[in-house]
Every structure is written in structure tokens, then in C-alpha cells.
Structure 1
Amino acid sequence: MKKLSLIIIAILLPLVTFAQRGLNIGYIDMDYILENIPEYQEASAQLDRRVQEWKNEIDSKRREISEIQTQLENERALLTKELLEEREEDIKYLQDQLTEYQQKRFGPGGDFIIQKKKLIKPIQDQVFTAVQEIAERRKFDFIFDRTSEIGMIYAKSNYDMSDQVLRIITRAANREQIETRKDRIELEQAENRTVAQDSVIQARAQASENAKTERELYIEQRRRERDSLRAIKKAEFEARRERILKERKARQDSIQAAREALQQKKDTIN
């Protein structure tokens, strides 16, 4: 509670001082700005068309899976257990592929989010540049975007009290952690460390970061191996599907040939 009080005091005292001369505050409506920029509207329309193409592809894949499922149900009684399991595995594979495609296009890190950011970032940069220019020319202290989750998009640097708050928190935390004479000695040593000693500590931190990078490279290698296995499985599925289609065509041709031979025999007898 005492720590929180110190932080609040550090924040409020400067604001009280500045409030004596009055604050100059403005706001923008980013949605309104975007709606009135032709370049943004054109790019947004292009993105909408691309999104519709992705949705059409998803619907097409869904219909394909549904047709295969219906065909399987119609042929279920004629299939051996092995063939039935194989066909069901193929359907499961297609369903997994569809889910993966949906995530690729519309997931949290999917193409839609990436393209949306690429679309809006150049406009945002222009807006922020214009806001900076207006703020400096008209002496604004703060400017907000009322439609944004970010809220404040401009503030004078002399209102930034982040370092003050950090110093208060750090001092308070260090004092609270000093419970023994050993802790007090260690704190004093930390405050009196030389540049060389700090360099050693930084080197250790860098070594830890390098180890983290090696771990990330290992994870990336495992991901590539999984992608390779997935590609092999897809190739096997396509080959198996082609074989099934050929066998089905051969059966259909055989049945048709038998029917034609039977019809010719009947025509000969008659």
C-alpha cells in the first residue's frame, strides 16, 4: 500500500503543476479518417475480394469432403474393413487440411490479419505524422484517438514519468527484500558494481540469450521435419486416392462390359 501511494504521488504532483497553466488536449476519429481516404477504401475493397476468394475455397473444400463422405456411406456395405478404415483416414486427412487452411487464412496470425495490418499501417503512419505536426504547431499536450484501443497517440515528453515510477518501485522493492544483513550487503555490492563487473553480468545474460536462440533453432528444425512428414503423407494420400479412382473406374468399366455382353447375348438369342 505504501509503494502504491508513492507511485500515485509521483504521478499526480507533476500533473498538478501542469494543470495550473491548463492542458491543451485534442482527439481524432481514426475510423472517420480512413473512411475518407480513397487509397484506403480501394485497398480495403481489394482485401474484401481476396477474403471472398478464400471463403469460396473453404466452401469448395467443404463440399468436396461432404461428397466423399456421402459416397463412403453409400458404399460402406461393399467395402472391406481395411478399405473402410483407409477411406475414413482419407476423409480425416482432408478435414485436417481444411482446418489448417482456415487457420492459415483467418487464424490469429493468418493472412487476413497480416494483410489488414499492411493495409492500415501506411495510413496510420501518415496520420501520426500529421498529428505530430499539428501538436507541435498548436502546442497540444495530449491527443487521443477515440476509436482506438491504444487511446493516446501523442503526448509531450515532459509528461513521461516512467523512469520516476520505475525508480520508486525499484527502491521500494529492494528495501522490502532486505531482510538480513547478507541481503543488505548484496544490495550495496550491486549499487557499487564497476563497469567491468557489469560487463561480466551482461556477458552472462548474452550467453543465456544465445542458448535461447539455439533452442528456437531446434524448434524450427522440428517444425520443418513435421512439415516434411506432412508433405510425404499428402503425396501418399494423393497416390492412394488416384489408385482408388482407377480401381473404381476399372470396376465400372467391367460392369458395363458385362452388361453389354449380356445384352448382345440376349439380342443374339432373340
Structure 2
Amino acid sequence: MRKQLLFLFLTIIGTGTIQGQIKSTKIGYIDMEYILQNVSNYKEAQNQLEQKAQKWQQEIEEKKKEINKLSESLKTEKPLLTKELIEERETEIKFLEKELIEFQQNRFGANGALIQQKLVLTKPIQDQVFTTVQDIAEAKQFDFIFDKSSDLTMLFAAKRFDISDQVLRVLNRAEKREQLTKKQQKELEEKEKKEDALNENPGVLEREKALEEKKAAREKIIAERKLQQEVKKKEFEEQRKKVAEEKAAKKSTPPTTNNKSEEKVSITNKAQEKLEAAELVRKKQAEDKAKILEERKKIIEEKRKAAEDKRNKIIEERAAAKKAAEEKLKTNTNNN
């Protein structure tokens, strides 16, 4: 059966490659086990089922202990018992052993309670997954969607064809919508559309990321400029306060010849201090400007490197895809 499915899958791929100029075949796949393990309802029910299985296993162990106890007791007391009592106890032990086997089969057998309850648990979620897959296939125009965890042996599958996360998003959204108001549902739908567009178009996602990086860099530059302005403002306030204090000191001191000389020296010192302060401010501005230019240069270089890596990656993927298509076409030609 697996060989037939594999042959069918390869035939579809080969046919899609040969007739690619007429119509490109869009193929995707899901991993049912991955989806089920990430659905909250399934995980809760699975935990309950595991608790039942543990309880049944404990009952089996207790029955085994009881049988072993009776067997050991019979072995010890056998020389003292009559033939009728020995046969009676052996019959009882055989009955308990048979009962134990039936209990194990009823709980853990091929058609036991564990398997049946697991099927009952899985089916509703599988139905939801199948419905969601059909909706996605119709909306995204997929030609084929396979289940990676089924009997179909997938020797290789590129991650970009995996729509399992899309299916999970739809299932989780449906669960959230039941708890939201109409207004919240509308907002959520708009947000989901935007997320879907970003997930389906990596180029848009990268552009969004680049815009966010530019915005962060711009905000950082604005914050640094604001900090510089605050520093300058603080220095100016301190200078003005100092001048006001000196003026107040001059008014309180009687004017003398010596004071005039001291005032001249003080004015000269003040002028020198102002020049030094202005020089420090200019020097700091130059350093800040050089720092900003260096950061901008670094951001530009990182963007250039990211674009070059992306271009090289696209070239490698195209070459790999072309090579794989040629190999498949060659294989199909040889088989024919």
C-alpha cells in the first residue's frame, strides 16, 4: 500500500514538473500528530486517557500480585493439602489468570477500551482538521495536500510546503472567537488577515522587519539628540545661575579701585570659562555626530549584508529546485 501511494505521489510530482509550463501544481502537506499535540482540547483529553490507562495498569498489577500470592501459598502448603483441595486451588488460580488476560485484552487489546476511547477522542478533532485543510486548500488553491504522519512515506519535504501551523492557527482562532464579542471578533479577523499576509509572503515580512529596524534607529537618534539638548540646557541654566550669583555679590560689595581690578580679572576669567565651555560643547557635538554617522554606517552595512545573504539564498534555492526537477524528470523518463 505504501509503495502504491509513494508511486502515485511521485507520478503526480513528475507530471506537474513536465506540464509546469501549462499549469503549476501546488502541493502542501500537514503533520497530523504535530497538530493534535498542539491542540489544547486534545491534550487535556489525552491526559485524562493516560490517567485511566495508569489506573487500569495498577489494577492489572494488583491482580498479578494476588495470583502470585495464591501460587506461592499453594506451593508452600501443597504437601499438607489433599488432592481435592490442591485441584480446587489450582482451578481458582487458573480462573484468576484467565480473568486477568481478559481484563488486559478488554483494556489494552487491539479493540480494547483504550483504543476505542482514543478513536472517539481523536475523530472530532480530525474532522475539524480535515474541514480546515479543505478550506485552506480552496482559499489558497492547493492541488494536493498530504498527511506526513500517514502511510505515505515522504522521503523529503521542504518546510515551506508545510501548512500545519496554518491549520493550527485556524483551529486556535475558532476556539478564541467563541469567547469574544462581535467587536473583538472583527478586530481579531483584521489582525489575522494581516498575519496571514505576512506569513504567506516572506518578502513583506522582511520589509516590515526592515521598517521596524529603521524606526528603532530613528527613535534612538532622536533620543540621543534630546539628551544632548537636555545637557546643553542644564549647562546654560548653571551658567546663568552662576552669573546671577556673581551680579548679586557685586551689588553687595562697595565699589573700590581694587574691586574694579578684581572685576576686570573676573570678567576675563568668565570670558575664558565661556570660551572653554563653548569649546567643550562643540567638541561633544562633533563626537556625537561622529557616533551617529558611525551607527548609520553600521546599519547600512548590516542591511547590505542581509540583502546579499538573501539574494545568495534565493539563488541557491532556485539552483537546488532546478536540480531536483531535472533529477525527477530524468527518473520519470527512465521509468517510462
Relative to the length of structure 1, the TM-score reads 0.49
TM-score normalized with structure 2 length: 0.40
